[in-house]
Amino acid sequence: MKIVDQAKRFVESLHQLANRSGWDWRRCPHCGSTTTRKHSAYPRRAWFFEGRRVFRVQRHRCLSCERTHSEQSALLIRGSWYSREVHRMAIDQWQHTGSSLRRVAEWVRSWLGKQERWWNWRPLDPKGGAEQRCYLGASTVHRWVDKAGERAKEMVRGQLADVPASLQMGRTGCGPVCVTGQSGWSGRRWW
């Protein structure tokens, strides 16, 4: 599957998740039964670009198989304290600016929690309390980058399918450069 098709499928899956109704969530994902009932709820306190927001996550219990499941949001990633937009922004900042993981975590943390470097940017803003502090660490950003890399590695095979090879060669001051599809090219070496 091509990379563009994968991106389209990902966006479509988010739209489908966001457009699910309450009736759609009643269907048990384990056995497919629609005989479910609400089974409590729990709060999710996730960080977004605007700061921390609280979501109420509804749980359901299937009367057929007695298993429980929770409703999901397209904005949240299961098990994370940070929203999907924060994950993507941190990974993009690391990838496109070439910053270290520690520096990316510091910038994202400053922006989300309006702390640390935020006071250099906006010294007249009122300071928030300890409950408003963001504790994003470089190890968390590193885990996100690793997970994204593992997913990308799984999807590499076949991404360039149906892309025609130009069969052209180029040359830089350092030596020959291979353009898509040249034989003899293996990784970074010429054979």
Domain of residue 148 covers: 84-155
Average pLDDT, the chain: 80
Q: Let me know if residue 91 belongs to a domain.
A: yes
Could you tell me the pLDDT band of residue 3, with boundaries at 50, 70 and 90? low
Please report the DSSP string for 145-161 in residue order. Answer: HHHHHHHHHHH-TTTTT
Unique residue bearing structure tokens 């993981």: 101
Q: Is residue 48 scored above 80 in pLDDT? A: yes
- Report the pLDDT value the prediction gives residue 140, as an integer from 0 to 100: 95
Q: Let me know if residue 69 belongs to a domain.
A: no
Q: Let me know if residue 59 belongs to a domain.
A: no
Q: Let me know if residue 127 belongs to a domain.
A: yes
Tokens of 33: 């039964």
Single-letter amino acid, residue 10: F
Specify the higher pLDDT residue, 163 or 76.
76
Query: What pLDDT, in 10s, does the model give residues 123-158?
Result: 888 876 666 888 999 999 999 999 988 888 887 776
Single pTM value for the model = 0.68
Number of domains in the chain: 1
Specify the higher pLDDT residue, 9 or 111.
111
Q: Let me know if residue 31 belongs to a domain.
A: no
